[in-house]
Amino acid sequence: MLLQEKRIAIFNIANKRSIAWAIAKAMDAQGARLILGYQNERTKGSVMDLAKELTHSPVAILPCDVSFPEQIDALQDTVRKEAGTIHGLVHSLAFAPRESLQNAYLFTEREHFLTALEISTYSLVALARALTPVFSDKASVTTLTYYGAEKVMPSYNVMGVAKAALEASVRYLAHDLGPAGVRVNAISAGPINTVAARGVSGFLDILEVHAAKAPLKRTVEGSEVGGTAAFLASDLASGITGEVIYVDTGYNIMGF
Ligand SMILES: NC(=O)c1ccc[n+]([C@@H]2O[C@H](COP(=O)([O-])OP(=O)(O)OC[C@H]3O[C@@H](n4cnc5c(N)ncnc54)[C@H](O)[C@@H]3O)[C@@H](O)[C@H]2O)c1
C-alpha cells in the first residue's frame, strides 16, 4: 500500500484503454483516493462507469478541458473544497489535429502547431500552477511522454515537438517546485493502442516494429505504466525529480 492516505488527481480518462485509467487502477490498488478528470460530456459517462470498478470510491470526478483557461483556474477551488490538499497530479492528456499527424512535418500549419503545443504541453504548466496552492508537502507531478520527443517517428510530427517541449517543461518545473518539496517527472511510455495513439498515421506498424525490436520482445502494458506512476507518486521515489523514466520494454536502448 504505497499510496495509503494519499489523494491524487488524474487528468484525463477517456475510456478503459486510456493510460490515465491504467494509472488510476494501479494507484487505487496501492490505497490512493483519486480525483478523476474527464474532458467533456462525451467522456463523462464512461469515467463515471469506470469509477465504479475502483476499490476506493473517488474523492471527486471533475471536468477539465484545458483549452478553457477558466476550467483550469476553477480546479484549485474545487479541489480544495473536495479534497483539502492533494499529494499528486497526473497529467495524461494530449491532442494534435489529425492532419498534422498524417502529412510531412514540413507542412504543419500554424494553427495546428499552436493547438498541439497548447493542449499537450502548456496544459502541464497551467495545471501545475493552478494546483500548487493545494499541493501537500512532498507532492508529486507526473506527465506522459513518448520517444518521438527525441527521435524521428514518421507521422508523430508536431506531437514529437510538443513532447520535447513537455520534457523540457518537466525539468524547468522540477527546478521551480523543488524548493517546496514538489517533484516533477515524466514517464516515456512505449506505444499502447489508445484513441490518441490511433490518430497517428501508421500506428499499428509502430506497435509491430516495437515488439520486434524491444529487448523484452513485446509492447508495454498499461498496467506497467500504471505501476511506475504509482511508484513515482509514492515516498519510495522521494529522491527522483526532473527525470524522464522509460517504461517501454527497453526499446529506447537499441541502436539497431
Ligand atoms: N498511447 C501511447 O502509445 C502513448 C505513448 C506515450 C505517451 N502517451 C501519452 O499518454 C497520454 C494519454 O494518452 P492515451 O494514449 O492514454 O490516449 P487517450 O486518448 O486515452 O487519452 C488522451 C486524453 O487526452 C484528453 N484530451 C484531449 N484534448 C483535451 C483537452 N483539450 N482538454 C483536456 N483533455 C484533453 C482526452 O480527453 C483523453 O482523456 C498522452 O499525453 C499521450 O501523448 C501515449
Q: CA-based angle 76:80:82, to the nearest 5?
A: 115
The mean pLDDT of 173-180, rounded to a whole number, is 98
Q: How far is CA 89 from CA 99, 112, 201, in A?
A: 31, 27, 30
Pull the grid cell for residue 126.
497551467
Q: How confident is the model at residue 212 (pLDDT cuts 50, 70, 90)?
A: very high
As a whole number, the mean pLDDT across the chain is: 97
Locate the ligand 1 atom nearest the alpha carbon of residue 21 and give its number. 16
Measured between alpha carbons, how far is 221 from 219 in angstroms, rounded to an integer? 7
HSE on the CB side for 38, CA within 13 Å? Answer: 18
Percent of the chain with pLDDT over 70: 100
Cβ(149)–Cβ(166) under 8 Å? yes
The H-or-E segment that residue 12 falls in is: none
- Whole-structure pTM value: 0.98
Measured between alpha carbons, how far is 117 from 162 in angstroms, rounded to an integer? 5
Query: Tens digits of per-residue pLDDT, 192-202?
Result: 999 999 999 99
Q: Name residues contacting ligand 1 (CB within 6 A).
A: 12-14, 17-20, 39, 43, 64-67, 92-95, 119, 144-146, 189, 191-192, 194-197
Measured between alpha carbons, how far is 11 from 21 in angstroms, rounded to an integer? 10
Torsion, Cα 3 7 12 15, to 10 degrees, reads 60
- Does the pLDDT at position 103 exceed 90? no
- Does the pLDDT at position 211 exceed 90? yes
- Does the pLDDT at position 65 exceed 90? yes
- Domains of the chain, start order: 7-246 (3.40.50.720)
HSE on the CB side for 238, CA within 13 Å? Answer: 8
Q: Given ligand 1 and candidates 50, 92, 118, which is best to mutate, with the most ligand atoms within 8 Å of its CB?
A: 92
Pull the grid cell for residue 154.
514518421
pLDDT number for residue 99: 95
The 8-class DSSP code of residue 156 comes to T
Pull the grid cell for residue 29.
490498488
Query: Tens digits of per-residue pLDDT, 226-254?
Result: 999 999 999 999 999 999 999 999 999 99
The mean pLDDT of 85-113, rounded to a whole number, is 97
The mean pLDDT of 74-102, rounded to a whole number, is 97
